[in-house]
Amino acid sequence: MKLTKADIDKVRHIEGFPIAKDEDIIALSRPPYYTACPNPFIRDFIQEHGTPYDEATDDYHREPLSIDLADDKYDKVYHFHPYHTKVPYGIISRLIKHYTNPDALIMDSFCGSGMTGVAAKTAISNGKGRHSILIDLSPFSTFISDVICQFDDFKMETIMSIRSSLALVEKESEWMFSTRHYETGLHGEAVIGIINFVIWSDVLICPSCSKEFIFWDTAVEKKAGKVRSVFSCPHCGTSTNKRECSHAMITQKRSTSQNVVSISKQVPVLINYSIGKSRYEKEPDDYDLKLLDAIEKEEIPYWYPTDELPDGDKTSEPKNLGLRYVDQFYFKRNLWVLASLYDKLASPYERFIITKVAFRITKRYGLTYQNGSWGAGGGPTNGTLYIPSLIKELSIIKQIGEALKDFEKIELNASSGRSMVSTQSATDLRQLPDNSIDYIFIDPPFGGNLCYSELNFIWESWLKIFTNNKREAIMNITQTKTIDDYHLLISLCFGELYRTLKPNRWMTVIFHNSSNAVWNVIQDSILHAGFLVADVRIMDKGKMSFTQITSVGSVKSDLIISVYKPKVEFVKKFRNEAGSIEMAWEFVHQHLGNVPIAPDTNSKIEIVAERQDYLLFDRMVAYHINNGFPIPMDAHTFYEGLRQRFLERDSMFFLPDQVTAYDEKRMHMDLDTTQFSFVVTDEKNAIQWLNYILKDKPQTYQDIQPQYLQELHQDKREQMPELLDMLRDNFLQDEQGRFY
């Protein structure tokens, strides 16, 4: 099957249609299961794999999965592609198994690197998996999602083709990665080694004498493995730091346009290379400098991307250093290898291997000192386009070879579940019918955490298809998107998710942000769409990133928000009788039916906040307000009626058919009295809550933050300080970064 221009015309008006030529969209697509534009075949997929919703015969019921989830994110599938953010598919698979039956239809409208698709295929029950619909605004995201979900179908054939092409590229380019050993052979002949990596250093200008100096020579204690924050100019002796210095710049003529550009000056300072199985290090000599000069004079005889970076919050940093075009992010020999390999690989699936290294093995790759040597470890700073002052230029031939080995090791153990992938905005899912999806899992963008369209630009330049960021749901100064714009866009997304999810079904939302304001936007958008929150849990992805370890205000754990869509009958009745006291109690009845009954942690029953009077009242009020109806009673009347109509245990309320299960469990298990049942609505009781949780055990911000958001139900009339500000203003901090 082939995607045609006629097919594309049918979906060209859908929000999020990418910026690309039709022929490039057609070339990348794998219809009907993947299109690099809004997928015109989704409705057919749903007709084949979905089941119609009939409330009269629907007997589905699930409680929210009320356990804190953890997983090791460093398995082979998860770790294969260096995409910005991922949720381990093992966690998603566990959620899918809990909320759905085999052959169910799962959707993720912010699919990122496709982990939900992998989870659906590997969530096997009775020999069957699940089917998935994966959607993202980024054509790069949808491309890797499609590939990673089809690994088993094409892996061996693809590996053989890549290995054959890589051998040709290696033969063609091996001269570019050679260096002369500092010792000669037995007969005085030159001994040639193969480069593993080269360290490049910024050249800076002293603010006092205006002379150039090499940062590596001036600021780095090479034997100690330290970079001094304050150092002396080698020319005038002035004490200075990197911030006070400016970058030395050089001019270059661009071969593609003949334009002259100015770019920051960097020089090679150390070469790590191998001869046989032995490794050596040396400073660059005449051989190396002449080699680099020869490479610069050669024209790369293959296509490679030369697109200019868009203006953006993240792209401004490399632009300030003169890196304005995609090809400038690469050292020329590595760019040559990528271009040559791209030329020799025939299909998009084969070229997928290029994306494994195309964003990572660039001038973004920072140098680190580990285990007594420079160059061990290192890597780019995630979520940025930051160019470090000390760069590690890896041999991209070796990196692609390593990626190929990783590729071979991947085993999905997947079912025959199908994935349908579409490139479009989550604000406009018009190809999907109402009430057609069995379960939704999303990890949406949160405020200004990541500027995906900017960060994906280098990857997308290799695909020749770019994100249309008009409906990108983020906060971004360059795009003039404030928190209000983010609120509007993410609300549109949740509205579409509500429309397409079957009634009486579940959606899981992952939250990862330190801002109270963004948390409030997400909660408001969920409720405004018509969903109801039943549970909020902590998810631990495993090992922390460098930023999470070193930054006080970073977030360690994500939150898992479990929400459900009420039944059609309830919604119709509520709208017809809204404002009546009886419908308020009908709301409480159906909500209690979807809240965990007796979750336990460490062999003790948890207090479920959603079953307590204050939060039940809060949910009832919010549902009326979000639907534009008057609130039928005040808090005093509600609390009184609650005790008359429902059964109370341990300050929690239950339906008659639930209380027996709770009582039976309570006979054998104690209540977790260490939980502090306290709703956080304003700064005063937020500080009281912090005092309580810190009185016996000092905790870091990363430990406190997810607990805090679980308890936060901010009054919209209150202006709340950020959590980190309250901690710094009201508590002390020890040497380990813990507040007390």
First to last CA, the chain: 64
Q: Which domain holds residue 343?
A: 164-409
Please choose, from the candidates 460, 455, 478, the residue with its C-alpha nearest in 3D space to the C-alpha of residue 384. 455
Q: DSSP letters of 261-283?
A: EEEE-EEEEEEEEEETTEEEEE-
Whether residue 339 sits in one domain with residue 200: yes
pLDDT of the residue at 675 = 60
CB neighbours of residue 33 within 10 Å: 19
- Give the relative orientation of helices 348-358 and 139-149 as an angle to the nearest 10 degrees: 120
Whether residue 188 sits in one domain with residue 142: no
Whether residue 483 sits in one domain with residue 388: no
Domain total in the chain: 4
662 in a structural domain: no
347 in a structural domain: yes
CB neighbours of residue 725 within 10 Å: 12
CA–CA gap between residue 368 and residue 374 (Å, rounded): 6
Please choose, from the candidates 372, 395, 17, the residue with its C-alpha nearest in 3D space to the C-alpha of residue 222. 372
Q: Are 458 and 140 in contact (CB under 8 A)?
A: no
Confidence of residue 231 (pLDDT cuts 50, 70, 90): very high
CA–CA gap between residue 542 and residue 561 (Å, rounded): 19
Listed in sequence order, the residues at least 6 apart from 480 whose beta carbon sits closer than 8 Å to its beta carbon are: none
pLDDT of the residue at 552 = 44
672 in a structural domain: no
Q: DSSP letters of 553-590?
A: T---SEEEEEEEPPPHHHHHHHHHHTT-HHHHHHHHHH
Cα atoms in the Cβ-side hemisphere of radius 13 Å centred on 162: 24
Q: Are 379 and 309 in contact (CB under 8 A)?
A: no
Please choose, from the candidates 44, 619, 122, 739, the residue with its C-alpha nearest in 3D space to the C-alpha of residue 417. 122
At 153-210, the pLDDT tens digits run 777 788 889 999 999 999 999 999 999 999 988 888 999 999 999 999 999 999 999 9
Strand partners, 205: 212, 246
Write out the two tokens for 254. 């661009």
Strands 699-700 and 738-739: antiparallel
674 in a structural domain: no
Strands 373-374 and 369-370: antiparallel
Write out the two tokens for 242. 């990197």
Whether residue 368 sits in one domain with residue 268: yes
Whether residue 196 sits in one domain with residue 60: no
pLDDT of the residue at 546 = 38
CA 335 to chain centroid, in Å, comes to 27
pLDDT of the residue at 414 = 73
For residue 315, which amino acid is it? T
Highest mean pLDDT, choosing among 156-170, 512-526, 642-656:
642-656
Please choose, from the candidates 162, 180, 4, 147, the residue with its C-alpha nearest in 3D space to the C-alpha of residue 80. 147
Last residue in a domain, options 373, 390, 409? 409
Q: Which residue has the tokens 């398995």?
A: 75
Last residue in a domain, options 511, 536, 568? 568
pLDDT of the residue at 188 = 87
pLDDT of the residue at 123 = 93
Residue 541 has pLDDT above 60, yes or no: no
Please choose, from the candidates 599, 427, 624, the residue with its C-alpha nearest in 3D space to the C-alpha of residue 527. 624
Phi, psi of 120 (to 5 degrees): -65, -40
| Sequence-distant contacts of 473-479: CB under 8 A, at least 24 apart | 473/426, 473/427, 473/444, 473/445, 474/445, 474/447, 474/448, 474/449, 474/450, 475/447, 475/448, 476/312, 476/313, 476/448, 476/451, 477/313, 478/311, 478/312, 478/313, 478/316, 479/312
Phi, psi of 641 (to 5 degrees): -65, -30
715 in a structural domain: yes
pLDDT of the residue at 676 = 55
CA–CA gap between residue 287 and residue 309 (Å, rounded): 34
Confidence of residue 711 (pLDDT cuts 50, 70, 90): confident
Whether residue 419 sits in one domain with residue 284: no
At 618-647, the pLDDT tens digits run 999 999 998 899 999 999 999 999 999 999
Please choose, from the candidates 105, 103, 152, 150, the residue with its C-alpha nearest in 3D space to the C-alpha of residue 126. 103
Q: Are 37 and 69 in contact (CB under 8 A)?
A: no
Strands 266-275 and 192-205: antiparallel
Query: Mean pLDDT across the stretch 216-222?
Result: 96
Q: Say whether 714 sits in a helix, a strand or coil.
A: coil
Last residue in a domain, options 568, 596, 615? 568
pLDDT of the residue at 13 = 98
| Cα dist from 454 to 335, 457, 695, whole Å | 20, 5, 44
At 34-62, the pLDDT tens digits run 999 999 999 999 999 999 999 999 999 99
618 in a structural domain: yes
Q: Say whether 354 sits in a helix, a strand or coil.
A: helix
pLDDT of the residue at 677 = 56
Q: DSSP letters of 477-542?
A: TTTTB-HHHHHHHHHHHHHHHHHHEEEEEEEEEEE--S-HHHHHHHHHHHHHHT-EEEEEEEEE-S
Radius of gyration of the chain (CA): 29
Whether residue 384 sits in one domain with residue 371: yes
Write out the two tokens for 708. 């805090």
At 669-685, the pLDDT tens digits run 999 876 655 678 889 88
**pTM for the model:** 0.92
Confidence of residue 553 (pLDDT cuts 50, 70, 90): very low
Q: DSSP letters of 633-688?
A: S-HHHHHHHHHHHSEEETTEEE-HHHHHHHHHHHHHSEE-TTS----B-SHHHHHH
Whether residue 126 sits in one domain with residue 192: no
Confidence of residue 80 (pLDDT cuts 50, 70, 90): confident
At 291-343, the pLDDT tens digits run 999 999 999 999 999 999 999 999 999 999 999 999 999 999 999 999 999 99
Please choose, from the candidates 595, 435, 430, the residue with its C-alpha nearest in 3D space to the C-alpha of residue 505. 435
What CATH number has the domain bearing residue 456? 3.40.50.150
CA–CA gap between residue 423 and residue 404 (Å, rounded): 27
Please choose, from the candidates 710, 543, 525, 542, the residue with its C-alpha nearest in 3D space to the C-alpha of residue 615. 710
Confidence of residue 151 (pLDDT cuts 50, 70, 90): confident
Residue 436 has pLDDT above 80, yes or no: yes
Whether residue 577 sits in one domain with residue 544: no
621 in a structural domain: yes
Mean pLDDT computed over every residue of the chain: 92
Whether residue 282 sits in one domain with residue 400: yes
Residue 547 has pLDDT above 50, yes or no: no
Please choose, from the candidates 480, 489, 400, the residue with its C-alpha nearest in 3D space to the C-alpha of residue 444. 489
DSSP letter for 239, please.
E
Whether residue 119 sits in one domain with residue 83: yes
At 441-480, the pLDDT tens digits run 999 998 888 899 999 999 999 999 999 999 999 999 999 9
Q: Are 295 and 176 in contact (CB under 8 A)?
A: yes
Residue 214 has pLDDT above 70, yes or no: yes
Write out the two tokens for 193. 């080694």
**Residues making up the chain, counted from first to last:** 740
404 in a structural domain: yes
Strands 192-205 and 178-180: antiparallel
Confidence of residue 556 (pLDDT cuts 50, 70, 90): low
Q: Which residue has the tokens 């959590």?
A: 723
Whether residue 518 sits in one domain with residue 398: no
Confidence of residue 382 (pLDDT cuts 50, 70, 90): confident
If DSSP states are collapsed to H, E and C, what string results for 439-468? EEEECCCCCCCCCHHHHCHHHHHHHCCECC
Please choose, from the candidates 85, 36, 148, 87, the residue with its C-alpha nearest in 3D space to the C-alpha of residue 455. 85
pLDDT of the residue at 599 = 92
